[in-house]
């Protein structure tokens, strides 16, 4: 017989870990299923060379545990992946989380069973478990996609997807290496691999607007100051639009004279982190001319940094403006293309025809390699849901329901999927994700506690509320230039069938507003979730 739990959580990344801590506080028997061999989610899987935070480290950690904040020292302003992973392992040790996490356990399906009002969860090895609550902590960027290029499996050398990187170090010395993909991951990988590879050939389909990260170590004195500033830092993160420490300048671009404007941009370009993206003039992502002006500023930086003008032009995006896709943060990325061992292949100009036993064939050349790195991204936001066969009331498939885009209430639930709650799912404020995770987990925990305390067996929003929220999220996307561009943020993935059309899959209002709406829903006594039940007098 299937083993039963009060709650099953899928995924042991940051959201699954914190959810486990909170469910234990409620005294619920909980099992977390995790495909990997340890905790960490994104930071467990993405071990590729150069992987690191693009956000200020200290703003991206858990804030719920004062003792943890007091005792953990960060070493770099933008921590490399190994440092973040050891932090998350430290959290898992501190809370003895692993005893409730079953590793090497990929969930294949989760079916709601009407008769028993339980979820039947089946792992890929065929083992079965049931639970009353089902909480997804599957991550928005966790379903890696290989490129839909003919012959992708024919290569006889070594190949890796960045999100399935081996645990052992990979050496590039003396090797002919290819990287396909120039998103945030590709950029980090390229600038690292270029240091040691015999040759590095970058296959770029669409250039992205990259900006300097300007990372540096944190000195012990700085760490003391950072720690003393934690309350103010987390307060600030809860007030900004997307929970980052950066906040837009409260002026429109052309309200400021050209000279002054360029001075501001110069300062932003020379400041660490996402400031130039998230701390720029407030109309940058809404006004075409304002966006064109900052794009030209950054294009000129690329022209100054890349010696060969033809290569420089290839590296300047022409089909989208600055900041309308996720801005990759870089450390001497553009200078890589001044190195003799690095070559840029523009595959819009000379498309890849196939991958074969020895390398990559484009329309005008055959390139042979020892290693091919696929930095080709993820089936984002809904992809990790699509890979699990979720079925709700009457066997309805979530995959079918969301075929033309997700439908949710508050980004945490959908109708016909009772007692299933989502962490960092579609239609919620993403931004600085750990800040969202903490709120999201605490909100879900509040709802679960309410249901348990009030003996409410079935929590589920109505179809009307789901429709209303989905329409609201869609309307927020209007006028936002980022929704006019193909990217993972608009649900487009050329490698996944049926995902060629842009959709609105994330909440683009402010995080404080999203939290306000969720908090109000809780304050109403979660009535939208419990409408079938008598409301307590
Ligand atoms: P991204 O940002 O989705 O980038 C994927 C890259 O791979 C991008 O340059 C794609 O080009 C390229 N790509 C994808 N498929 C192909 C094929 N078939 N042929 C050639 N090139 C291809 O993923 P990342 O992993 O870099 O980053 C995802 C997020 O993770 C990031 O924003 C951070 O928030 C963390 P395209 O642009 O589609 O032309």
> Residue 534 pLDDT more than 80?
no
> Residue 1 pLDDT more than 80?
yes
Residue 332: predicted pLDDT: 98
Q: State the average pLDDT over residues 418-438.
A: 95
Cα–Cα distance measured from residue 59 to residue 234, given in angstroms and rounded to the nearest whole number? 7
Distance 184 CA to ligand 1 centre (A): 8
Does residue 43 have its Cβ closer than 6 Å to ligand 1? no
In the DSSP assignment, the letter for residue 242 is T
Does residue 181 have its Cβ closer than 6 Å to ligand 1? yes
> Residue 536 pLDDT more than 90?
no
> Residue 349 pLDDT more than 60?
yes
Using one digit for the tens of pLDDT, what is the confidence trace for 73-107?
999 999 999 999 999 999 999 999 999 999 999 99
User: Ligand 1 atom 18: the closest Cα is on which residue?
Assistant: 147
User: Nearest CA to 227 among 69, 75, 86?
Assistant: 69
User: Ligand 1 atom 19: the closest Cα is on which residue?
Assistant: 147
Distance 24 CA to ligand 1 centre (A): 38
Does residue 353 have its Cβ closer than 6 Å to ligand 1? no
Does residue 474 have its Cβ closer than 6 Å to ligand 1? no
Using one digit for the tens of pLDDT, what is the confidence trace for 105-138?
999 999 999 999 999 999 999 999 999 999 999 9
Does residue 363 have its Cβ closer than 6 Å to ligand 1? no
Confidence of residue 146 (pLDDT cuts 50, 70, 90): very high
Confidence of residue 531 (pLDDT cuts 50, 70, 90): low
Does residue 149 have its Cβ closer than 6 Å to ligand 1? yes
Burial of 436 from C-beta contacts in 10 A (0-12 / 13-18 / 19+): buried
Does residue 449 have its Cβ closer than 6 Å to ligand 1? no
Strands 30-33 and 101-102: parallel
What is the number of the ligand 1 atom nearest to the C-alpha of 376? Answer: 7
Cα angle 104, 110, 112 (rounded to 5 degrees) comes to 155
Please report which helix (H) or strand (E) contains residue 277, including its range.
Answer: helix 275-278
Does residue 9 have its Cβ closer than 6 Å to ligand 1? no
Using one digit for the tens of pLDDT, what is the confidence trace for 262-310?
999 999 999 999 999 999 999 999 999 999 999 999 999 999 999 999 9
Does residue 186 have its Cβ closer than 6 Å to ligand 1? yes
Does residue 383 have its Cβ closer than 6 Å to ligand 1? no
Distance 449 CA to ligand 1 centre (A): 40
* Four-way CATH pick for 3-37+103-143+380-531: 3.40.50.620, 3.40.30.10, 3.50.50.60, 3.30.465.10: 3.50.50.60
The residues spanned by each domain of the chain are 3-37+103-143+380-531, 152-374
Distance 285 CA to ligand 1 centre (A): 21
CA atoms within 13 A on the CB side of 499: 26
Distance 277 CA to ligand 1 centre (A): 19
Using one digit for the tens of pLDDT, what is the confidence trace for 150-195?
999 999 999 999 999 999 999 999 999 999 999 999 999 999 999 9
Does residue 372 have its Cβ closer than 6 Å to ligand 1? no
Using one digit for the tens of pLDDT, what is the confidence trace for 13-47?
999 999 999 999 999 999 999 999 999 999 999 99
> Residue 496 pLDDT more than 90?
yes
Q: State the average pLDDT over residues 230-240.
A: 97
> Residue 537 pLDDT more than 60?
no
What is the number of the ligand 1 atom nearest to the C-alpha of 493? Answer: 38
Distance 491 CA to ligand 1 centre (A): 12
Residue 193: predicted pLDDT: 98
Distance 325 CA to ligand 1 centre (A): 11
Cα angle 328, 329, 334 (rounded to 5 degrees) comes to 90
Does residue 81 have its Cβ closer than 6 Å to ligand 1? no
- What SS3 string covers 140-207? CCCCECCCCCCCCCCCCCEEEEHHHCCCCCCCCECCEEEEECCCHHHHHHHHHHCCCECEEEEEECCC
What is the number of the ligand 1 atom nearest to the C-alpha of 181? Answer: 7
User: Nearest CA to 242 among 209, 278, 282?
Assistant: 278
Count other C-beta atoms under 10 Å from residue 393's C-beta.
14
Distance 186 CA to ligand 1 centre (A): 7
Residue 412: predicted pLDDT: 98
Q: State the average pLDDT over residues 503-517.
A: 94
Q: What average pLDDT does the structure give for the chain?
A: 96
Using one digit for the tens of pLDDT, what is the confidence trace for 374-383?
999 999 999 9
Residue 532: predicted pLDDT: 55
Mark residue 66 as left, alpha or beta (left: phi above 0; alpha: psi -120 to 50; beta: remaining): alpha
Does residue 195 have its Cβ closer than 6 Å to ligand 1? no
Choose the residue to mutate in 162, 181, 379, 506 for probing ligand 1, maximizing ligand atoms within 8 Å of C-beta: 181
Choose the residue to mutate in 41, 78, 377 for probing ligand 1, maximizing ligand atoms within 8 Å of C-beta: 377
> Residue 489 pLDDT more than 80?
yes
Does residue 345 have its Cβ closer than 6 Å to ligand 1? no
Place of tokens 């130039």: 276
């Amino acid at each position: 017989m299937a083993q039963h739990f009060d709650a099953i959580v899928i995924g042991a990344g940051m959201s699954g870990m914190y959810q486990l801590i909170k469910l234990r506080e409620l005294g619920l028997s909980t099992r977390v299923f995790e495909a990997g061999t340890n905790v960490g989610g994104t930071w467990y899987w993405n071990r590729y060379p150069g992987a690191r935070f693009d956000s200020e480290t200290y703003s991206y950690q858990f804030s719920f545990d004062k003792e943890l904040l007091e005792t953990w020292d960060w070493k770099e302003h933008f921590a490399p992946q190994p440092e973040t992973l050891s932090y998350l392992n430290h959290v898992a040790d501190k809370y003895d989380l692993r005893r409730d996490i079953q590793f090497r356990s990929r969930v294949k399906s989760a079916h709601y069973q009407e008769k028993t009002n339980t979820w039947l969860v089946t792992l890929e090895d065929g083992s079965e478990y049931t639970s009353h609550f089902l909480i997804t902590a599957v991550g928005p960027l966790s379903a890696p996609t290989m490129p839909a290029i003919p012959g992708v499996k024919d290569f006889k050398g070594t190949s890796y997807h960045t999100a399935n990187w081996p645990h052992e170090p990979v050496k590039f010395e003396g090797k002919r290496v290819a990287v396909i993909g120039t998103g945030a991951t590709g950029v980090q990988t390229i600038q690292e691999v270029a240091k040691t590879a015999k040759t590095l050939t970058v296959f770029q389909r669409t250039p992205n607007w990259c900006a300097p990260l300007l990372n540096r170590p944190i000195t012990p004195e700085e760490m003391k100051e950072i720690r003393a500033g934690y309350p103010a830092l987390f307060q600030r993160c809860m007030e900004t639009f997307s929970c980052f420490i950066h906040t837009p300048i409260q002026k429109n671009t052309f309200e400021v004279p050209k000279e002054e404007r360029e001075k501001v941009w110069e300062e932003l370009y020379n400041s660490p982190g996402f400031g130039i993206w998230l701390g720029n003039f407030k109309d940058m992502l809404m006004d075409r001319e304002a966006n064109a002006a900052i794009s030209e500023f950054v294009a000129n930086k690329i022209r100054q940094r890349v010696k060969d003008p033809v290569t420089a032009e290839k590296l300047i995006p022409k089909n989208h403006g600055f900041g309308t896709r996720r801005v990759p943060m870089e450390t001497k990325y553009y200078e890589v293309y001044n190195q003799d061992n690095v070559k840029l292949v523009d595959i819009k100009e000379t498309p890849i025809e196939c991958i074969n036993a020895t390398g990559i064939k484009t329309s005008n050349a055959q390139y042979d390699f020892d290693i091919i790195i696929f930095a080709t991204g993820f089936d984002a936001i809904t992809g990790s849901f699509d890979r699990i066969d979720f079925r709700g009331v009457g066997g309805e498939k979530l995959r079918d329901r969301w075929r033309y885009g997700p439908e949710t209430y508050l980004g945490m639930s959908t109708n016909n999927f009772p007692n299933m709650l989502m962490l960092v799912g579609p239609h919620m404020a993403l931004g600085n994700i750990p800040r969202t995770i903490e709120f999201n987990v605490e909100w879900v925990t509040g709802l679960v506690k309410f249901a348990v305390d009030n003996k409410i067996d079935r929590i589920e929003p109505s179809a009307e509320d789901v429709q209303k929220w989905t329409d609201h999220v869609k309307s927020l996307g209007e006028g936002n230039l980022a929704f006019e561009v193909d990217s993972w943020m608009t649900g487009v993935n050329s490698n996944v069938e049926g995902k060629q059309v842009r959709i609105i899959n994330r909440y683009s209002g402010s995080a404080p507003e999203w939290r306000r709406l969720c908090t109000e829903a809780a304050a109403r006594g979660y009535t939208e979730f419990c409408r079938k039940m008598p409301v307590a007098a």
